[in-house]
């Protein structure tokens, strides 16, 4: 069986590594929409059209047993249109508000996400439904996902740059302080060690990836072998590619050979024409 993992960039590797642990015999195909990264800055209708048409193309080319939208920014918008259009099991990634509300003793938690995710009604509804009496601070980081991309393409990212993005998560009020931070962008767990070291005080960092991986295992139980059963884990990008070292570290090979033309003329053209940058 093969699983298709999708994200705007390399963040989905934080989910893929957990899927690898939960389903060691499954193969994975990873599609990163790096031609238009970051999704956090896209208008909702542009993002929906982009992801639906990209997945249309990727699903027919790769024929997976399940699709994992390993991106909060996309999942908070595209799960209903994707599920309406495609029959296979689709697992999304949305802010882990419920576990944060369960963990927090101080009743002060933060959601660290992209600006898109913190704006979504979906996120506000989650807090309303599952937040209970826990007070949530929503932190829309403009730069953190991009800093993670930079770090994994071998560039230097300073502590000061990372700290500036996470600092607003740490709130003190009336003798209490934040004790849980939801990692509501799949890029962030990839630099968790650095975030922990930089945090003004220790908190529970909530990464939903292990739960997503368990869900993928449940929905694929008894799945038929896939067309490319036994092929290595393959990485595809609509734009630039992360370095060899990163793909090696996550156990993926470059999927270049499967694309005829993966460089869009312009992102806007591709979206307007209802075409995606992927041509497999």
The residue ranges that bind ligand DGL (CB under 6 A) are: 7-9, 11, 37-40, 71-73, 114, 117, 145, 185-187
Query: Does residue 169 have an active-site annotation?
Result: no
Number of other CB atoms surrounding residue 106 within 10 Å: 17
Q: How far is the CB of 278 from ligand DGL (least distance, A)?
A: 17
Least distance to ligand DGL from the beta carbon of 228, Å?
A: 25
In angstroms, what is the minimal distance from the CB of 40 to ligand DGL? 3
Concerning whether 134 is annotated as a catalytic residue, the answer is no
Q: Distance of CA 126 to CAs 95, 113, 201, 222, Å?
A: 8, 14, 26, 31
Which of 5/247 has CB closer to ligand DGL?
A: 5
- Among candidate residues 3, 15, 71, 108, the one labeled active-site is 71
Q: Which is nearer to ligand DGL, 11 or 270 (CB)?
A: 11
**Cα 146 → chain centroid:** 13
Contact predicate 114/141, CB 8 Å: yes
Name the β-bridge partners of 28.
3
d(CA 186, CA 38): 12
Q: Of 1 and 16, which has the nearer Cβ to ligand DGL?
A: 16
Locate tokens 């989910």: which residue?
Answer: 15
Instruction: Quickly tell me which residue has 């940058």 as its tokens.
Output: 277
Nearer Cβ to ligand DGL (1/37): 37
Choice among 185, 209, 213, 216 that is catalytic: 185
| Alpha-carbon span 219 to 1, nearest angstrom | 12
Distance CA 42, CA 241 (A): 21
Minimum distance of ligand DGL from residue 221's CB (angstroms): 26
* Catalytic (active-site) positions: 71, 185
């Amino acid at each position: 069986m093969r699983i298709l993992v999708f994200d705007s960039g390399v963040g989905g590797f934080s989910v893929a590594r957990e899927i690898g642990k939960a389903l060691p015999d499954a193969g994975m195909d990873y599609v990163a929409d790096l031609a238009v990264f970051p999704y956090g800055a896209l208008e909702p209708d542009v993002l929906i059209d982009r992801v639906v048409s990209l997945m249309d193309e990727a699903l027919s080319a790769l024929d997976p047993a399940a699709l994992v939208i390993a991106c909060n920014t996309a999942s908070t918008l595209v799960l209903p249109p994707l599920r309406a259009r495609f029959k296979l099991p689709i697992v999304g990634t949305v802010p882990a508000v419920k576990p944060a509300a369960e963990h927090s003793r101080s009743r002060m938690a933060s959601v660290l996400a992209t600006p898109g995710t913190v704006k979504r009604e979906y996120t506000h509804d989650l807090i309303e439904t599952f937040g209970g009496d826990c007070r949530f601070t929503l932190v829309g980081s403009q730069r953190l996902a991009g800093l993670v991309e930079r770090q994994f393409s071998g560039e230097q990212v300073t502590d000061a740059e990372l700290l500036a993005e996470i600092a607003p998560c740490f709130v003190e009020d009336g003798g209490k302080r934040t004790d849980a931070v939801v990692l509501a962008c799949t890029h962030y767990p990839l630099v968790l060690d650095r975030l922990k070291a930089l945090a003004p005080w220790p908190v529970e960092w909530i990464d939903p990836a292990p739960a997503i991986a368990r869900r993928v295992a449940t929905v694929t139980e008894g799945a038929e072998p896939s067309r490319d059963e036994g092929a290595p884990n393959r990485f595809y990008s609509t734009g630039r590619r992360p370095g060899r070292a990163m793909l090696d570290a996550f156990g993926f090979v470059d999927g270049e050979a499967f694309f005829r033309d993966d460089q869009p003329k312009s992102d806007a053209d591709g979206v307007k024409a209802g075409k995606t940058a992927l041509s497999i």
